[in-house]
């Protein structure tokens, strides 16, 4: 495309979460139309561990598919459910037209233990889903190492097991230190992982809650982000500009190293994600206004 854009074309997918209220689900339609204007490869919709969003996730997946005609991946976690329940749910999803799944173990709510007759980790879940139907399956990867991992190597071995069980790609947890993503991809390749590893990109929406959330999931927040976002709590416009700039610089850095496919955690907010796409030359199909 030339100009200021990365040399190789960039492709994106957009992650959404199912809103809690009917009104939220209605409003999401507009967000989805705006995001669809950037021509993502697909959308994905998260799923509350333990099935807390089962109906809402399925409804949002269906709504996004009908509104956009684009593929939609249904996240599915296996904690708190038996194998038979998960298999039956997967069968229903397949029958309703779902072809893509992001297969996750999920986190147990406090005080609960894994169901003895359930899938115990995401590798077992992937194998189970493959037995149900020919889903296209993505799994999670952790460049900064999952908090429960015994070591970085055992974490990587587990990722390989998930892919060997039948997943076709991995999406990473968000990481702000881009070199860590590149080193992780190198280590994965050296370990014989050939599947695409798609960086998850988190445009910062609320810095305080991002810091809280990151503590729980093992994602580190570099000190320089404090300098970038500190004091912007009450300056949403400037914060959005800084967030879009940071995310597009990260994608550019990765693109310069040959990584051109990104999964954007939109947090159901279209503006920053769309700004990132614009800055990367992701070709808009129609204007965001037209789509709205
Ligand atoms: P697993 O990969 O099964 O396990 C997590 C880690 O534990 C592994 O990385 C490994 O280090 C260790 N481990 C587990 N089993 C073994 C084993 N048998 N041997 C050795 N090590 C093992 N959560 C939700 O609730 N809903 C969502 O929609 C959702 N979407 C996500 C999307 C992405 C892209 C990412 C990165 C995360 C998402 N999560 C979601 C969060 C995820 O559920 C948590 O990170 C959870 O703690 C682990 O799930 P997993 O699928 O990575 O589990």
The protein residue with its alpha carbon nearest to ligand 1, atom 29, reads 46
How many whole angstroms from 122 Cα to the centroid of ligand 1?
Answer: 7
* pLDDT tens column, 178-226: 999 999 999 999 999 999 999 999 999 999 999 999 998 989 999 999 9
Residue 35: strand, helix, or coil: helix
What does the mean pLDDT of the chain come to? 94
Q: What pLDDT, in 10s, does the model give residues 91-131?
A: 999 999 999 999 999 998 777 777 889 999 999 999 999 99
What would the mean pLDDT of 123-148 be, rounded to a whole number?
Answer: 98
> Which residue(s) pair with 169 in the sheet?
138
pLDDT number for residue 288 = 54
Catalytic residue numbers read: 15
Domain ranges within the chain, ordered by starting residue: 11-282
Mutate to test the pocket of ligand 1, among 144, 146, 152, 175 (most ligand atoms within 8 A of CB): 146
Backbone φ and ψ of 75, nearest 5°: -70, 145
Fold of the domain spanning 11-282: TIM Barrel (3.20.20)
Instruction: Report the 10 Å Cβ neighbour count for 179.
Output: 11
Substitution candidate for ligand 1 out of 53, 105, 156, 196 with most atoms within 8 A of CB: 105
Q: How many Å lie between the centroid of ligand 1 and the Cα of residue 260?
A: 24
Compute the distance between CA of residue 40 and CA of residue 13 in angstroms, rounded to an integer: 5
Give the predicted TM-score (pTM) of the model. 0.96
Q: What is the 241 CA–ligand 1 centroid distance (Å)?
A: 31
Task: Work out the number of other CB atoms within 10 angstroms of the CB of residue 195.
Answer: 18
Q: Does the structure show a pLDDT above 70 at 284?
A: no
Asked whether the predicted pLDDT for residue 292 surpasses 80, the reply is no
Instruction: Please report the pLDDT score of residue 1 as a whole number.
Output: 66
CB of residue 18 inside a 6 A radius of ligand 1: no
Q: How confident is the model at residue 3 (pLDDT cuts 50, 70, 90)?
A: confident
**Cα Dmax for the chain:** 57
Name the closest-CA residue to atom 40, ligand 1. Answer: 106
Q: How confident is the model at residue 149 (pLDDT cuts 50, 70, 90)?
A: very high
């Amino acid at each position: 495309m030339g100009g200021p854009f990365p040399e190789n074309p960039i492709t994106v997918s957009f992650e959404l979460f199912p809103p809690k209220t009917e009104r939220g689900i209605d409003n999401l339609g507009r967000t989805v139309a705006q995001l669809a204007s950037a021509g993502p490869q697909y959308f994905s919709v998260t799923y509350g561990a333990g099935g807390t969003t089962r109906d809402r996730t399925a409804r949002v997946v269906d709504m996004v598919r009908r509104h956009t005609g684009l593929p939609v991946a249904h996240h599915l976690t296996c904690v708190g459910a038996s194998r038979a329940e998960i298999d039956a749910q997967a069968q229903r999803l397949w029958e309703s037209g779902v072809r893509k799944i992001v297969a996750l173990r999920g986190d147990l709510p406090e005080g609960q233990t894994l169901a003895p007759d359930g899938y115990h980790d995401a590798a077992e879940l992937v194998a189970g889903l493959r037995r149900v139907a020919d889903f296209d399956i993505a799994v999670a990867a952790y460049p900064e190492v999952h908090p429960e991992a015994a070591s970085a190597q055992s974490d990587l071995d587990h990722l390989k097991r998930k892919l060997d069980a039948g997943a076709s790609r991995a999406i990473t947890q968000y990481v702000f230190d881009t070199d860590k993503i590149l080193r992780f991809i190198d280590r994965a390749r050296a370990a014989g992982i050939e599947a695409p590893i798609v960086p998850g990109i988190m445009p910062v929406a609320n810095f305080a809650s991002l810091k809280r959330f990151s503590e729980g999931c093992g994602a580190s927040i570099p000190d320089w982000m404090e300098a970038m976002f500190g004091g912007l709590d009450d300056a949403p416009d400037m914060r959005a500009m800084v967030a879009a700039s940071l995310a597009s610089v990260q994608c550019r850095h990765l693109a310069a190293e040959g990584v051109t496919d990104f999964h954007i955690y939109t947090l159901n907010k279209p503006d920053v994600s769309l700004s990132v796409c614009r800055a990367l030359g992701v070709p808009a199909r129609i204007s965001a206004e037209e789509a709205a």
